[in-house]
Amino acid sequence: MTLFSAFRRDIERAPSVGWKRFTRWLRHQMPTGLYARSLLIIILPMVLLQAVVAFVFMERHWQLVTQRLSMAVTRDIAAIIDLIETYPQDDDYAEITRIARERLELIISVEQGTTLPPPRSKPFFNILDEILSEEIVRQIRRPFWIDTVGESKVVEIRILLDNKILRVYARRNQAYASNTHIFLLWMVGASLVLILISILFLRGQIRPILALAQAAESFGKGQKMPENFAPRGADEVRRAGLAFILMRERIERQIEQRTAMLTGVSHDLRTILTRFKLQLALAGDKPELQGMGKDVEDMQTMLEGYLSFARGDAEEDVGKLRLSDLIDRLSLEAELHERAFSSEIEGDDEIMVRPNAFTRLVGNVVSNALRYAKSVHVEARHRAKWLTITVDDDGPGIPENVREDVFKPFFRLDDARNLDASGTGLGLAIALDIARSHGGNVTLSDSPMGGLRVTIRVPV
């Protein structure tokens, strides 16, 4: 590829790159809420329409009306000048003054002199001054001086004749469309009323969607739904709300069925294990039966762990839990294991979770760290929307290629770490299940301390 072709390609790509950057910037500036976006959809077209209408009105109607009025006033002044120059008059021009006052609604006077006042400074925006001056130049073609500046209701015009000056006073609304602002006020006022009605209507339409989102978020976190939740709003929102209620009822029925099944299974299996223990006790303390007794104890531990994992503490209600109390409990456990323990809490101390389940979640992670490491550091950050708990240790860690597998039930690491004290391989699976029931997650990574970092992140 030659240098010229490369340069040409860059030039062709420049507009597309600039457009992508502009659209990316615009997306970042736009609001993310449905209510705000809906308001923009209504307000922006209305504002653009008003801007176009106002521009066309100012450019066409206002200017045209003012031009015609100024043309009429200038024509009357030109007729008065013709009368003064064509017909002999008295020294005070009483008759022409009367005709101008009664027929043309102009106050005139003829004064001796040949000098006009110096031109006044032109305003930045005064359509009357511009148009009236153009009409005087076009129709009268004589030196003149006008005063249209200020809020006065009278416009003064001075025309230089041969050896005298014609002084004319005209009402401003005779040469200027002075009631134009009424149209603008009506347009803006009507738009504000329409926007207010749109806001009230949108609030009524958006509220059911926000209620549905809140109910789904609460259900996803394992919390109870608002008691007053019911499908409302448009047909599509009602159908979505009804579908969510039916889905929630199906999930709750499945949880109830699973709980009932697990209760029956646990009862039957515990009965059999109790019989085994009784038979071993009756058989006496024989060396050949010690291995069987150990197998029965392991089976009992595995059964309790599995039932606890399958049950998931989903039936527990949401309540308040103090992070400081949880850290104190973990600190006592570290003292029992004779391990170095440090902690840090940032943000509000109280959180809204399922206390027993969340305590078990953090306890499982910290207990595993205390078992395989000499030093453990726990850091809790409670922000506006998320609670993040980071557990770092200096233990052997978990290989990166099996970090996803350790979340599977009954997966065990023989030569590294095992999250469950009994070795059932359910510790991390239970922790992940509890975190997800709160709407969060558990992730593993390398720790700055040299071991494993476990990050627990749940919404609050």
pLDDT of 437 strictly over 90: no
| Residue 336, pLDDT score | 87
Beta bridge partners of 320: 352
Mean pLDDT, rounded, for 441-452: 90
Confidence of residue 200 (pLDDT cuts 50, 70, 90): confident
- Smallest CA-to-CA distance from 337 within 366, 380, 298, 297 is with 366
Amino acid at 419: L
| Angle of the 180-220 helix axis to the 34-56 helix axis, nearest 10 | 170
- Smallest CA-to-CA distance from 395 within 377, 415, 372, 413 is with 372
Are 234 and 59 contacting, i.e. CB atoms less than 8 angstroms apart? no
* Distance of alpha carbon 343 from the chain centroid: 35
Euclidean distance between CA atoms 353 and 376, whole angstroms: 24
pLDDT of 250 strictly over 50: yes
| Residue 150, pLDDT score | 67
Mean pLDDT, rounded, for 74-90: 84
- The predicted-structure confidence for 342-364, as pLDDT tens digits, reads as follows 999 998 899 888 888 888 889 88
Contacts made by residues 191-195, CB under 8 angstroms, sequence distance 24+: 191/46, 191/47, 191/50, 194/46, 195/42, 195/43, 195/46
Euclidean distance between CA atoms 457 and 372, whole angstroms: 23
pLDDT of 48 strictly over 80: yes
- 291: helix, strand or coil: helix
- The predicted-structure confidence for 364-375, as pLDDT tens digits, reads as follows 889 888 888 899
Confidence of residue 376 (pLDDT cuts 50, 70, 90): very high
| Residue 455, pLDDT score | 93
pLDDT of 397 strictly over 60: yes
Highest mean predicted confidence (pLDDT) among 57-71, 122-136, 231-245: 231-245
| Residue 420, pLDDT score | 45
Element (H, E) at 187: helix 180-220
Confidence of residue 416 (pLDDT cuts 50, 70, 90): very low
- 167: helix, strand or coil: strand
| Residue 399, pLDDT score | 86
Are 361 and 439 contacting, i.e. CB atoms less than 8 angstroms apart? no
Q: Helices (DSSP H) in 312-391: which residue ranges?
A: 323-336, 355-372
CA distances from 215 to 49, 174, 218, 307, 319 (A): 39, 66, 5, 29, 18
pLDDT of 247 strictly over 90: no
Higher pLDDT, 388 or 111: 388
- The predicted-structure confidence for 295-306, as pLDDT tens digits, reads as follows 777 777 767 766
Task: State the average pLDDT for the chain.
Answer: 79
Are 193 and 177 contacting, i.e. CB atoms less than 8 angstroms apart? no
pLDDT of 115 strictly over 80: yes
Percentage of residues in the chain having pLDDT higher than 90: 10
Highest mean predicted confidence (pLDDT) among 55-69, 202-216, 369-383, 420-434: 369-383
Half-sphere exposure of 81 (CA within 13 A, CB side): 24
| Residue 456, pLDDT score | 93
Contacts made by residues 317-320, CB under 8 angstroms, sequence distance 24+: 317/224, 317/354, 318/221, 318/222, 318/223, 318/224, 318/352, 318/353, 318/354, 319/352, 319/353, 319/354, 319/355, 320/350, 320/351, 320/352, 320/355
Mean pLDDT, rounded, for 177-182: 68
Are 411 and 425 contacting, i.e. CB atoms less than 8 angstroms apart? yes
pLDDT of 421 strictly over 70: no
How many other C-beta atoms can be found within 10 angstroms of the C-beta atom of residue 270? 14
Mean pLDDT, rounded, for 51-80: 82
Euclidean distance between CA atoms 178 and 161, whole angstroms: 30
- 453: helix, strand or coil: strand
Beta bridge partners of 441: 457
